[in-house]
Amino acid sequence: MAIVTTVMTVNCGSSSLKLRLVDESDTVLDSEDIAVHKGQIDRERLSRFTERLGRVDAVAHRIVHGGDRFTGSVLVDRDVRSELMELIPLAPAHQPMALAAIDIVADQLPGLPVVACFDTAFHSRMPDAARDYALPRQWRDRFGIRKYGFHGLSHEYASTRAVGLLADKDIRIVVCHLGAGASLAAVRHGHSLDTTMGFTPLEGLVMSTRSGRVDPSILLWLQQHAGIGVEELADTLQYHSGLLGMAGNPNIGELRGRADRDARRAVDVYLHELCAAIAAMTAALGGLDALVFTGGVGENESFVRTHVATALGYLGVTVDEPHNVGAEPDTDISTPDAAVRTLVIAAREDVPMARDARMLLGGS
């Protein structure tokens, strides 16, 4: 088998398709971000990207949901693809687009080995206390109902990078992946001990268009008393809730610039849920040594970081505000005497994806 060094990574998110060509030193040789609208991939732009590439040894695709079956990256064959299709109901906003991307890129770059890298894999060894729901055992065993967790590739990279920046392998880390989708992870010694997303990527924090956690009785009530069907509920929770549902705009930076009541309330709810969830993650760790912000919002919206630091000052989180406002990843924005280090780290899911492809295929 030929040595694999240069890997094309295909990262299907809920709002964008991120393409990277990465070499063995994690250097990005080429890149393009393509906006995604309602799960539709712009085939022409994707084709232009693949046509201009030089050497490519393998393709690695980010797959959001691996279920119980996939706890590590795998080579994609017909059987694997069929199993991934069965998981579509658990990640309807992501899984179909990722499968479409696998097919499109395979047509454009035929003959290359294809690797699936799973967001759920990083969380697959969470303690039972963190992963189990208080539901009947029959349901949990029969249907595989448990907390799977997501954004694992981002949480893995950001926590590893934090350990490197702070030169301490024993730190207790909460990673805040804040983008169109958002989740937290409590990480120590390279392992996820808890996370905010659950059985699907819908649970947890308030997101751009997703509701995050809600009382399940609300959904039952809407079905029983308001006559709202399952399809409408699913569509609304995924695509018309969160910041968009509360204030008509999915962008928290733009909402902060508005003075109307709906915008203020949406931002307040977003920040309240975020701070409460970070505090909960520290309980899984028994304390906090490093708080990491990554993702589009985490890296670019300094007011979010300021609010979190103020709210969680009692945990020892304090940031240097001038440094925070002008922060560019990867950097430590803490005050010199802060008990908790606060870091801004660029999201690099492509790094663990390319690494896993090389390991599977016998590369460096």
Could you read off the pLDDT of 209-252 as tens digits, one per residue? 999 999 999 999 999 999 999 999 999 999 999 999 999 999 99
Residue 28's DSSP bridge partners are: 22
Q: What is the pLDDT of residue 364?
A: 54
Could you read off the pLDDT of 295-325 as tens digits, one per residue? 999 999 999 999 999 999 999 999 999 999 9
Q: How far apart are CA 217 and CA 215, in angstroms?
A: 5
3-state SS record for 299-329:
HHCHHHHHHHHHHCHHHCECECHHHHHCCCC
- Architecture of 7-147 per CATH? 2-Layer Sandwich (3.30)
Is the distance from CB of 84 to CB of 54 less than 8 angstroms?
Answer: no
Tokens of 262: 């709906």
Calculate mean pLDDT across residues 45-58.
Answer: 92
Provide the terminal-to-terminal Cα distance of the chain, rounded to the nearest Å. Answer: 13
Percent of the chain with pLDDT over 90: 88
Average per-residue pLDDT for the chain = 95
Q: How far apart are CA 198 and CA 205, in angstroms?
A: 11
Could you read off the pLDDT of 129-179 as tens digits, one per residue? 999 999 999 999 999 999 999 999 999 999 999 999 999 999 999 999 999
Are 7-147 and 152-344 equal in CATH topology? yes
Q: Which residue has the tokens 């040595």?
A: 3
pTM here is 0.94
- Classify the C-alpha dihedral 124-271-323-310 as positive or negative: negative
Q: For the beta carbon of residue 93, count every other beta carbon within 10 angstroms.
A: 23
Q: Which residue has the tokens 């203020």?
A: 264
* Domain 152-344 belongs in CATH node 3.30.420.40: yes
Q: How far apart are CA 152 and CA 150, in angstroms?
A: 5
Calculate mean pLDDT across residues 43-72.
Answer: 93
Among candidate residues 23, 33, 103, 119, the one labeled active-site is 119
119 carries an active-site annotation: yes
Q: Where are the domains of the chain?
A: 7-147, 152-344
Q: What are phi and psi of 17, to 5 degrees?
A: -115, 115
Residue 177's DSSP bridge partners are: 183, 294
Could you read off the pLDDT of 168-214 as tens digits, one per residue? 999 999 999 999 999 999 999 999 999 999 999 999 999 999 999 99
Does the structure show a pLDDT above 80 at 339?
yes
Q: How far apart are CA 172 and CA 283, in angstroms?
A: 11
